[in-house]
Amino acid sequence: AVRCMGGIEAYEDYGKACFTGAVADEYLQKQGASGDLLKDPSWTKTHSDVVASAVLDWATDHGANTFCHWFQPMASSGVRHGQTGQVQNKMFAFNADNQIEFDFKGKDLIKGETDGSSYPNGGLRGTHCAGGYLCIDTSSPIFLRGDTMFIPSAFVSYYGAALDEKTPLLRANAALNKQGCRLLKHLGLDVSDGLRANIGLE
Domain boundaries in the chain?
9-164, 165-202
**pLDDT tens profile 33-60:** 999 999 999 999 999 999 999 999 999 9
Kindly report the average pLDDT of the chain as a whole number: 86
**pLDDT tens profile 79-129:** 566 678 888 899 988 888 888 889 999 999 999 887 766 666 555 566 666
Percent of the chain having pLDDT more than 90?
A: 54
Q: What is 59-92 written as a DSSP string?
A: HHHTT--EEEEEE-BEETTEE-TT--EEEEEESE
pTM of the model: 0.83
Task: Kindly state the average pLDDT of the residues 182-200.
Answer: 87
Task: Kindly state the average pLDDT of the residues 163-168.
Answer: 89
User: Is-contact 136 70, C-beta < 8 A?
Assistant: no
